[in-house]
């Protein structure tokens, strides 16, 4: 491979210039163009093809999460800074007029809003755990889905979006089975991205836990090798971007949502997620911004 220059600004500019992303006024909230979407869907199809014999059950949830599940998930304990809760107007007609006047005058209208029963989905897999409450079959369960995920981290870096799609597989069952599944997919995910010509590597990782207490949680997560990521240089060679993550939650969700194995033990869970937009950006960065010019072996996989 020839020497590639990496920078956040140049990637953003190139994506915009080729109409792959459509700028809006808020960072990390841009639109996606037709070619971008085509590649994203084709990568999703490839994931479906390589996993078609796994017997995964499809579930689809909206990009919102009921607030009870959101509160129970303990997301706010670890990532209060990333969460997005949905607020709405519940006032009278007179108060509605006040709201409209404030908006038109460019004034702050925060005080006209109050909390609803939903939050934006902070992870694609969260609704799956309460949906699997109770006793899972002996062989456990395997679920897949794709959903929009919200993270409150506005940034001009194109790879750091406030809303993006995550394609996830979720495994629930006995500890050994879940652990083995996570490890097998770790290898499979890396191989998949390498097969597309992406200079992918894999590493132990930690979640962006909040605050000083969070540093300890992150260190603990790394020590126990609970999270792996597959990384590809997209905006920096030294700090490659995570495009896929493999998470072993042990009995965390089993305990919170009451999921058991047939022998009455708490079920363990693991999930893996492809950051769909990041995979697509990695493909554009690696092979160029015009898919028709991509290497034949890459096109053969995505345009079978
Ligand atoms: Zn997940």
Centre of ligand 1 to C-alpha 290, Å, is 32
> In angstroms, what is the span from residue 215 Cα to ligand 1's centroid?
21
Confidence (pLDDT) at 159: 97
Cα 273 to ligand 1 centroid, rounded to whole Å = 6
Distance CA(125)–CA(122), nearest Å, equals: 9
Nearest alpha-carbon partner for 135 in 270, 265, 262 = 262
Q: What's the gap in Å between 212 CA and the centre of ligand 1?
A: 24
Give the pLDDT mean for 189-210: 93
Cα separation values, 163 from 112, 122, 141, 173, 217, Å:
25, 10, 28, 30, 25
Query: Residue 234 C-alpha to ligand 1 middle, in angstroms?
Result: 23
For residue 84, the CA-to-ligand 1 centroid distance in Å is: 17
Query: DSSP assignment of 106-174, as one string?
Result: T---GGGEEEEEEEE-SSTTTTHHHHT-EEPPTT-EEEEEEEEEE-----S-TTS-SEEEEEEEEEEE-
DSSP 223-243: HTT-EEEEEE-SS-SSSPEEE
CA 267 to chain centroid: 23
**Res. 208 pLDDT band, cuts 50 70 90:** confident
Ligand 1 centroid, distance to 123 Cα (angstroms)? 6
Residue 3 above 80 pLDDT? no
- Is it the case that residue 212 has pLDDT exceeding 90? no
What is the model's pLDDT at position 267? 98
- Domains in the chain with CATH codes: 8-84+122-302 (3.30.930.10), 86-121 (no CATH)
Rounded to 5 degrees, φ, ψ at 218 are -65, -40
**Quick one: pLDDT band at residue 2, thresholds 50, 70, 90?**
low
CA 98 to ligand 1 centroid distance, Å: 41
Q: What average pLDDT is seen over the chain? A: 95
Task: Please write down the long-range contacts of 208-212, taking CB distance under 8 Å and 24 or more positions apart.
Answer: 208/79, 208/82, 209/78, 209/79, 210/78, 210/79, 210/80, 210/81
CA of 13 to the centre of ligand 1 (A): 31
The CA-atom distances, in angstroms, between 116 and each of 64, 69, 176, 237, 284 are 11, 13, 40, 42, 39
Strand pairing class (227-232; 201-204):
antiparallel
Q: Which residue has the higher pLDDT, 223 or 57?
A: 57
Distance 248 CA to ligand 1 centre (A): 9
Instruction: Give tens-digit pLDDT for 115-157.
Output: 999 999 999 999 999 999 999 999 999 999 999 999 999 999 9
Strand 64-66 relative to strand 31-32, pairing = unpaired
Q: Are 256 and 73 in contact (CB under 8 A)?
A: yes
Is it the case that residue 249 has pLDDT exceeding 70?
yes
DSSP annotation of 73 reads T
Cα 166 to ligand 1 centroid, rounded to whole Å: 9
Distance 25 CA to ligand 1 centre (A): 29
Residue 87 CA to ligand 1 centre (angstroms): 25
pLDDT band for 256, please (50, 70, 90 cuts). very high
Dist. CA 124 → ligand 1 center (Å): 6
* Ligand 1 centroid – CA 229 distance (Å): 13
What separation in Å is there between the alpha carbon of 168 and the centre of ligand 1?
Answer: 6
From ligand 1's centre to the CA of 126, what distance in Å? 7
Q: Which residues surround ligand 1, an ion (CB under 5 A)?
A: 123, 125, 271
5-32 pLDDT, tens per residue?
Answer: 899 999 999 999 999 999 999 999 999 9
In the predicted structure, residue 228 carries a pLDDT above the cut 70 = yes
C-alpha 246/C-alpha 230 separation (Å) is 9
Count of H helices and E strands in the chain?
Answer: 11, 14
């Amino acid at each position: 491979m020839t020497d590639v220059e990496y920078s956040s600004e140049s990637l953003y500019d190139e994506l915009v210039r080729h109409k792959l992303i459509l700028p809006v006024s808020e960072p990390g909230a841009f639109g996606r163009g037709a070619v971008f979407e085509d590649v994203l869907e084709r990568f999703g199809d490839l994931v479906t093809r390589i996993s078609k014999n796994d017997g995964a059950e499809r579930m689809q949830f909206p990009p919102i999460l009921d607030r009870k599940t959101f509160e129970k998930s303990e997301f706010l304990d670890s990532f209060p800074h990333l969460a997005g809760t949905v607020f709405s107007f519940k006032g009278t007609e007179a108060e509605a007029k006040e709201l409209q006047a404030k908006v038109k005058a460019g004034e702050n209208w925060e005080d006209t809003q109050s909390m609803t029963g939903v939050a934006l989905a902070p992870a694609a897999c969260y609704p799956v755990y309460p949906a699997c409450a109770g006793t899972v079959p002996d062989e456990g369960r395997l679920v897949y889905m794709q959903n929009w995920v919200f993270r409150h981290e506005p940034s001009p870096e194109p790879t750091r979006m406030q809303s993006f799609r995550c394609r996830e597989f979720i495994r629930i069952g006995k500890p050994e089975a879940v652990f083995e599944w996570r490890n097998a997919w770790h290898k499979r995910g890396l191989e998949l991205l390498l097969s597309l010509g992406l200079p992918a590597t894999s590493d132990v990782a930690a979640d962006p836990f909040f605050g000083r207490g969070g540093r300890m949680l992150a260190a603990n997560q790394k020590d126990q090798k609970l999270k792996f990521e597959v990384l590809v240089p997209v905006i920096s060679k030294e700090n490659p971007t995570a495009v896929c993550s493999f998470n072993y939650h042990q009995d965390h969700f089993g305990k919170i949502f009451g999921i058991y194995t047939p022998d009455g033990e708490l079920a363990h869970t693991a999930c893996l997620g492809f950051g769909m937009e990041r995979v697509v950006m990695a493909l554009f960065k690696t092979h160029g911004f015009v898919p028709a010019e991509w290497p034949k072996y890459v096109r053969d996989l995505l345009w079978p």
